[in-house]
């Protein structure tokens, strides 16, 4: 059996939810591990009800640390998190009942079968949705009577998702939920997420490295870089509004001032971008106006796909 997380201490009594409060409100989060630089460095973030947010960041950027901190499973050195208006670090039973979590490392009991595991959790949650569980188990073709420790990684990951969805949570947090899933499994998972949001208005936050999955659905995308959320926007807005400007520093400054852009990231000549070294300054800029600026004699203005945007923003 692997680690047992706080969310497994399941609720006995579900009270009235805090109406109108934001699902997640984090302010001033600062966290470092012993002797290491900060992983979260003054991070502020809110999630609106019904938002589906894909969290992107490089390996080691702090996605897992952030998700655990948001859920109250890890205490930051500074700052605080509120979930539905309550402190994440001291959730009551009613709040726990509103949260669903799929951790990166499987936290299922290896010696249980799927049926035994789900029966165990069902006894804790008054909002357990048996017909949803039945539907998912059969659609996702999960073996009910095999010990979890003998299931494949992908089957365990699917079961972990079923468990997190089973009590119809209002906030669903998933840490790389599709890492072990095959393409069909990833498509099933995305469909399930969309249905969950359409049916119930669930707020969903999940980290992933698979950009093509995000590109298929018009999710909000958030980039974690330098210990903060460097940028968050719906995907179509990102491609409409964000441009890479290349030129010399003075020309870039004049261009940004004229078109009233917001500089997201500046790179000087000589900085590495991916495998290349920038010869001129490269600025990543967001323009909010109706008409997007175009290249001129001094400044090259490029649109970016999600992958290029990821590299420019997070490297």
Ligand X SMILES: Nc1ncnc2c1ncn2[C@@H]1O[C@H](COP(=O)(O)OP(=O)(O)OP(=O)(O)O)[C@@H](O)[C@H]1O
CA distance 99 to 66: 16
In the complex with ligand X, which residue's Cβ is closer, 56 or 83? 56
In the complex with ligand X, which residue's Cβ is closer, 196 or 207? 207
Given the rule CB under 6 A, which of 31-39, 92-100, 106-114, 300-308 is the region that contacts ligand X?
A: 31-39
Q: Which of 3, 16, 33, 291 binds ligand X (CB under 6 A)?
A: 33
Task: Examine residue 62 and tell whether it contacts ligand X (CB under 6 A).
Answer: yes
- Subset of 38-57 contacting ligand X (CB under 6 A): 39, 57
Task: Examine residue 61 and tell whether it contacts ligand X (CB under 6 A).
Answer: yes
Residue 48's CB is within 10 A of a number of other CB atoms, namely 11
CB of 241 to ligand X, least distance (A): 25
Task: Examine residue 270 and tell whether it contacts ligand X (CB under 6 A).
Answer: no
Cβ–Cβ under 8 Å, residues 274 and 244 = no
Pure H helices in the chain: 63-70, 93-96, 114-122, 130-139, 153-165, 183-200, 211-216, 235-241, 249-258, 306-314
CB of 298 to ligand X, least distance (A): 37
CB of 36 to ligand X, least distance (A): 6
Task: Examine residue 97 and tell whether it contacts ligand X (CB under 6 A).
Answer: no
Q: Which of 3, 16, 59, 276 binds ligand X (CB under 6 A)?
A: 59
Residue 143's CB is within 10 A of a number of other CB atoms, namely 16
DSSP string, 31-73: EE-TTS-EEEEEEEEEE-TT-EEEEE--TTSSHHHHHHHHTTS
CB of 225 to ligand X, least distance (A): 10
Per-residue tokens: 241: 């509004």
Task: Examine residue 64 and tell whether it contacts ligand X (CB under 6 A).
Answer: yes
In the complex with ligand X, which residue's Cβ is closer, 83 or 224? 224
In the complex with ligand X, which residue's Cβ is closer, 187 or 209? 209
In the complex with ligand X, which residue's Cβ is closer, 61 or 164? 61
Task: Examine residue 137 and tell whether it contacts ligand X (CB under 6 A).
Answer: no
Task: Examine residue 177 and tell whether it contacts ligand X (CB under 6 A).
Answer: no
CA distance 213 to 124: 33
Cβ–Cβ under 8 Å, residues 238 and 309 = yes
Percent of the chain that is helix, strand, coil (3-state, to 5): 30, 30, 40
Q: Which of 20, 60, 145, 297 binds ligand X (CB under 6 A)?
A: 60
In the complex with ligand X, which residue's Cβ is closer, 42 or 143? 42
- Subset of 65-94 contacting ligand X (CB under 6 A): 65
Per-residue tokens: 53: 């947010």
153-165 and 114-122 are packed helices; what angle lies between their axes, rounded to 10 degrees? 20
List Cα–Cα distances, 152 to 108, 129, 165, in angstroms: 13, 25, 20
Give the binding site for ligand X (CB under 6 A).
33, 36, 39, 57, 59-65
């Amino acid at each position: 059996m692997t680690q047992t997380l706080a969310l497994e201490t399941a609720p006995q009594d579900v009270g009235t939810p805090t109406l109108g409060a934001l699902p997640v409100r984090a302010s001033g989060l600062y966290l470092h591990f012993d002797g290491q630089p900060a992983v979260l460095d003054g991070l502020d973030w809110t999630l609106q009800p019904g938002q589906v947010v894909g969290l992107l960041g490089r390996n080691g950027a702090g996605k897992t640390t952030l998700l655990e901190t948001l859920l109250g499973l890890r205490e930051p050195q500074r700052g605080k998190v509120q979930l539905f208006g309550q402190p994440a670090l001291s959730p009551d039973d009613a709040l726990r009942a509103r949260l669903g979590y799929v951790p990166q490392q499987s936290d299922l009991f290896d010696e249980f079968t799927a049926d035994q595991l789900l029966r165990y959790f069902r006894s804790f949650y008054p909002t357990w949705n048996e017909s949803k569980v039945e539907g998912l188990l059969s659609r996702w073709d999960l073996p009910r009577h095999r010990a979890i420790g003998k299931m494949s990684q992908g089957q365990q990951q699917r079961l972990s998702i079923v468990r997190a969805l089973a009590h119809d949570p209002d906030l669903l947090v998933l840490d790389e939920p599709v890492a072990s899933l095959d393409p069909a499994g990833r498509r099933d998972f995305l469909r399930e997420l969309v249905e969950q949001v359409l049916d119930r208005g669930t707020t969903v936050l999940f980290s992933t490295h698979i950009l093509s999955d995000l590109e298929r659905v018009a999710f909000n995308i958030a980039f974690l870089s330098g210990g903060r959320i460097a940028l968050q926007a719906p995907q179509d807005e990102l491609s409409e509004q964000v441009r890479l400007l290349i030129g010399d520093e003075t020309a870039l400054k004049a261009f940004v001032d004229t078109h009233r852009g917001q500089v997201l990231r500046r790179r000087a000549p000589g900085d590495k971008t991916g495998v290349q070294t920038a010869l001129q300054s490269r600025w990543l800029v967001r323009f909010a106006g109706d008409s997007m600026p175009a290249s001129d004699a001094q400044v090259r203005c490029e649109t970016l796909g999600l992958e290029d945007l990821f590299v420019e923003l997070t490297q």
